[in-house]
Amino acid sequence: MASFRQSVYLTIDGDGFEKSKKEANQNARDEGMEELENDFRYPNAIITPDEIGFSESDGSLNLSGTIYTDGSQKTELGYLSIDIVPDLDVVLDIIQFYMKKLGKLKTVLEATK
């Protein structure tokens, strides 16, 4: 597994947590966490990104947005911002992936001339 630096900013919405904590605690118990009565699991949580970006100053990728308890987006759980400086191996994997995509695009564009 590649190593990387990261920073995380998390804000929990008190009302959303109160509305959802009973079900989240049951999810934890269903996963075998009975001994942790204050453990909460949100297996269907989603994030709706406000921003996805790249910082040239430190080479970090940023993802930030609102977290919801599930895909219905009815109960807001909070806000999350993650900054990750990926390992060089991960960056190379990303570059190779997009080089292949660009190669396919180039082929399609040349075929339409």
CA angle in degrees (0–180, nearest 5) for 20-21-26: 105
Kindly give, in sequence order, each residue whose CB lies less than 8 Å from that of residue 15, ignoring residues fewer than 6 positions away: none
Residue 74 lies in a domain: yes
User: Does some domain include residue 57?
Assistant: yes
Paired tokens of 84: 């990750």
> What does the pLDDT profile of the chain (113 residues) look like in tens digits?
455 668 899 999 999 999 998 888 888 888 776 666 678 888 899 999 999 999 999 889 999 999 999 988 899 999 999 999 988 898 899 999 999 999 888 888 888 87
30-69 burial string, b = 16+ CB within 10 Å, else e? Answer: eeeeeeeeeebbbeebebeeeeeeeeeeeebbeebbbbbb
Answer whether residue 61 is part of any domain.
Answer: yes
Instruction: Report pTM.
Output: 0.70
The secondary structure element, H or E, covering residue 107 is helix 88-111
> In this structure, what DSSP letter does residue 2 have?
-
Please tell me the total count of domains within the chain. 1
Instruction: Kindly state whether residue 39 falls inside one of the protein's structural domains.
Output: yes
What is the 3-state secondary structure of 67-102? EECCCCCCCEEEEEEEEEECCHHHHHHHHHHHHHHH
The residue whose two tokens read 């910082």 is 55
Query: Where in the sequence is the domain holding 25, given as residue range(s)?
Result: 5-86
In a domain, 36, yes or no: yes
